[in-house]
């Protein structure tokens, strides 16, 4: 199971700009997408586990040809950042791999609960100081033992909520400081980030991995790129190589 305690889906109501034909993971999601398309020409993102882009332009299922058919998107200016809110085994492995290649900073649950505003402000300031050709990584845990210790001390739900709130606040702070591209790991974290940014529509771009595309959205009058994924999606090097797909 994914380490995101309350599931791995993006909040209901988030929408994706897509072509008239779409593929979805379930018949129910397809019906919801069709209803949304009839209403306003967009597709609602299905809830439940998976990436934010559970509704794709036809053929954009992860192969290179499908990625081309999904359409080109504007590539945002500014540096990149990874926000790893999930604590699934897959994300923990991706985080360990990325720590060998990217500037990184941990936001432990205990610190987030003690002084969340200061912790977020310091993390954003640190990320700004490291801005450059390589993305920065913000994450909450090194390994499974650390996750279990936090859950035992503070409660599973409260630990997850603290991380989601912090990552959403970091996303806002980073974009306001000029970051242009974000990779967000964790379905609930992705939902929290999209809500905090006030983003309701995404344009689907090239696939990074099966089930995970880059997207383009508007934030405060400019284009930003977001890759919002389930904690269980992507290869071990995902956080390091995702940027090559843009």
For the chain, give every domain's residue range: 80-245
The domain 80-245 is placed in CATH, from the list 3.90.76.10, 3.40.50.620, 3.40.980.20, 3.40.640.10, at 3.40.980.20
The whole-angstrom separation of Cα 22 and Cα 59 is 8
The whole-angstrom separation of Cα 191 and Cα 189 is 5
By DSSP bridging, strand 136-139 and strand 80-84 are parallel
Helix/strand/coil (H/E/C) assignment for every residue in the chain:
CCCCCCCCCCCCCCEEECCCCEECCCHHHHHHHHHHHHHHCCEECCCCCCCCCCCEECCCCCCHHHHHHHCCCCCCCCCEEEEECCCCHHHHHHHHHHHCCCCEEECCHHHHHHCHHHHHHHHHHHHHHCCCCCCEEEECCCCHHHHHHHHHHHCHHHHHHHHHHHHHHHHHHHHHCCCCEEEEECHHHHHHHHHHHCCCEEEEEEEEECCEEEEEEEECCEEEEEEEECCCCCCCCHHHHHHHHC
- What pLDDT is stored for residue 38 in this prediction? 30
- pLDDT averaged per 10 residues, the chain (length 246): 34 36 29 32 35 39 39 92 96 97 97 97 98 96 94 96 97 98 97 95 94 96 97 97 96
The whole-angstrom separation of Cα 34 and Cα 183 is 28
- What pLDDT is stored for residue 71 in this prediction? 65
Query: Which position has the token pair 């977001």?
Result: 226
CB 166 within 8 A of CB 107: yes
Tokens of 177: 């400081």
- What pLDDT is stored for residue 182 in this prediction? 98
């Amino acid at each position: 199971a994914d380490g995101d305690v309350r599931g791995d889906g993006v909040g209901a109501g988030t929408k994706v700009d897509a072509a008239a034909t779409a593929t979805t993971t379930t018949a129910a999601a397809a019906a919801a997408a069709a209803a949304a398309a009839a209403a306003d020409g967009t597709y609602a993102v299905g809830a439940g586990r998976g990436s934010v882009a559970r509704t794709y332009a036809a053929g954009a299922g992860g192969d290179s040809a499908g990625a081309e058919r999904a359409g080109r998107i504007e590539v945002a200016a500014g540096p990149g950042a990874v926000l790893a809110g999930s604590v699934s085994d897959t994300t923990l492995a991706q985080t360990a791999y990325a720590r060998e290649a990217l500037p990184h900073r941990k936001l432990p649950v205990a610190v987030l609960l003690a002084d969340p505003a200061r912790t977020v402000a310091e993390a954003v300031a640190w990320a700004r100081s490291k801005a450059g050709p390589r993305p920065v990584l913000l994450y909450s845990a090194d390994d499974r033992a650390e996750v279990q210790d936090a859950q035992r001390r503070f409660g599973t739900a409260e630990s997850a909520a603290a991380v989601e709130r912090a990552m959403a606040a970091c996303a806002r702070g980073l974009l306001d400081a000029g970051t242009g591209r974000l990779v967000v790991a964790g379905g609930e974290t992705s939902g929290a980030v999209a809500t905090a940014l006030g983003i309701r529509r995404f344009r689907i771009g090239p696939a990074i991995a099966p089930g995970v595309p880059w997207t383009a959205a508007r934030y405060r009058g400019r284009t930003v790129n977001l890759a919002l994924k389930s904690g269980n999606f992507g290869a071990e090097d995902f956080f390091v190589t995702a940027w090559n797909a843009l």
